[in-house]
Chains A and B, each alone.
Chain A
Amino acid sequence: MQSFTKYISGIFTALKSLLKGMGVTWKEFWTKKVTMEYPENRQTLVISDRWRAELIMPHDENNEHACTACGICMMNCPNGTIRVISVSIETEKGKKKKILDKHIWDYGSCTYCNLCVITCPSDAIVFNNDFEGAVFDRNKLVHQLNKPGSKLRDKKK
């Protein structure tokens, strides 16, 4: 007899819990949808600053950057994405000096590991969060990071 009452009450508790579950999903049905409709919401889109999308070399208003062409980023890159091409010039004082000619970074083979940014002794390169990097030609993925005509920023004394 006891097992019979247990059987009957079991049915009702089961029904109750099922209805409770359906209540939860019913509320979920009317919640605000989290989907972001991407091309339409470009204006309001918020991408986290931590997002690593494209490697850039910040230039200041005098078209100067901080890269000393030491090549540490190139050496630390795990799959050879960065090429630092330097040239030797002579300064006015007659010293030989190595300056940056081209800092080339291949978007296509970068794994966004951030090692280059971490190891850079002069903090010359950073990742920005501009994620729309798709192009139709693979050659366009190879970026030259230093702007034409730019030069090394003088160290502050």
Chain B
Amino acid sequence: MNYNQPLELTGLLSHLDIFFRNNLPPFWASLVESILVLITILAAYAVIALILIYAERKITAFFQARLGPNRLGKYGSIQSIADMIKILIKEIIHINRVDRFLFYAAPFFVICSSVMAFGAIPFGKGLQAVDFNMGIVYLLTVSSLGVIGVLLAGWSSNNKYSMIGAMRSGAQFISYELSAAFALMTVVVMTGTMQLSEIVENQRYAWNIFNGHLPAIVAFVIYLISGHAETNRAPFDLPEAEGELTAGYHTEYSGMQFGFYYLAEYLNMFIIAAVATTVFLGGWMPFQLKGMDTFNQIMWYIPSYVWFIGKTAMLVFISLWVRWSFPRLRIDLLLNLEWKYLLPINLVNIIAMVVTVLAGWTLTGLFPNIFGITP
């Protein structure tokens, strides 16, 4: 079952590893490797943010029957690089009577939590920086830190709009974090593991969303909804509702301080899509059918990171589609949706999943010859 995988990066990475280990003492080798991984992750973070900003502007424009950025470069493709340069050289405005320390510390909470979650995502075969045994819990954990940055930003700005935005964000985040966690736990019930690499490996012949059919699809939808709510994306963008709160919690920020919020918002959208991809849609695993070696070989010629990016891009597109379809929710309706609909459905769904797994009604349980991992 070893397929030819010409474009994978695993070979290159192990060569690098061997090179460092042969030429440096162990401590320095691991230090150099850690730093390289760190730089790669940060660079990928920035690059993905730029691509996402461009994609969002373009897709948004298409939904509104416009063309979007189309002047700078072919189809406006280097527009976001120009925007990045602009935001980097902008002045950071100092505001009177703010709590200095908290005001400047707040963006770092948001960006740190986002980068930490980003680092744990399996981007492809062998392209995962850390593979914790409790991977899913880790993702939920670090993403829960971001809301503190939002709360502090709102409070320390000394501005009532920021404050209202922050309070809304707090209520929203605490509520929807529950649903997101429960939706992921539904899948953990089915896979029996929280390690992201194992979850991906288990989806070789049947993605989790197909494997768990009805309960898994419900969990997937709930995860997408609550993921959007957690990251303050429209239609759940009450904390930064332009119409009522100017810009919500980041009203008073300027320059790169604002840039951090902006980056984190886009990357959180990506992270939500990436986690949903990994957990529900098979992660970087190419689409494979058991017993059809030629087909599988063709699928493996497409490298795993392309599969991952493709699936994630599809989910990001759905996120934007939702954003431009629905109006913003009112705060009481938002909390109603979580506490009266998503959470009860989720609890029933998790029991349904337990029953499905115990009764062997998953696809791997029903048709082990077609979907089972072991031959």
Q: Is there direct touching of A and B in the complex, by C-beta distance under 8 Å?
A: yes
B85 on the A face (CB < 8 A): no
The dominant DSSP class at the A interface is: helix
Q: Which residues of A contact B321 (CB under 8 A)?
A: 22, 25-26, 29
Interface size on A, residues (CB 8 A): 15
Interface string of B45-83 (1 = CB under 8 A from A): 000000000000000011111110010000000000000
Known: A11-B341, A22-B321, A25-B321. A33 touches B63 (CB 8 A): no
Contact of A32 among B63, B65, B70, B341 (CB under 8 A): B65
Q: CA of A139 to CA of B341 in the docked complex: distance in angstroms?
A: 67
A24 on the B face (CB < 8 A): yes
Known: A21-B325, A22-B322. A29 touches B341 (CB 8 A): no
Which residues of A are interface residues toward B (Cβ below 8 A)? 11, 18, 21-22, 24-26, 28-29, 31-35, 37
Which residues of B are interface residues toward A (Cβ below 8 A)? 61-67, 70, 321-322, 324-326, 341, 345
Residue contact B65 to A31, C-beta cutoff 8 Å: yes
Q: Which residues of A contact B63 (CB under 8 A)?
A: 25, 28-29
Known: A11-B345, A35-B67. 10 other contacts (CB 8 A): A18-B325, A21-B326, A22-B325, A25-B63, A28-B63, A29-B62, A29-B321, A33-B62, A34-B65, A35-B61
Q: Which residues of A contact B325 (CB under 8 A)?
A: 18, 21-22, 24-25
Q: Which residues of A contact B326 (CB under 8 A)?
A: 18, 21
Q: CA of A74 to CA of B324 in the docked complex: distance in angstroms?
A: 51
Q: Which residues of B contact A37 (CB under 8 A)?
A: 67, 70
Q: CA of A33 to CA of B65 in the docked complex: distance in angstroms?
A: 4
Contact of A35 among B66, B322, B341, B345 (CB under 8 A): B66
Question: Can you list 12 A-B pairs, Cβ within 8 angstroms, ordered by A?
Answer: A21-B325, A22-B322, A25-B321, A25-B324, A26-B321, A28-B64, A28-B65, A29-B63, A33-B62, A35-B65, A35-B66, A35-B67
Q: Which residues of A contact B324 (CB under 8 A)?
A: 25
Residue of B nearest to A35 (CB): B67
Q: Which residues of A contact B66 (CB under 8 A)?
A: 33-35
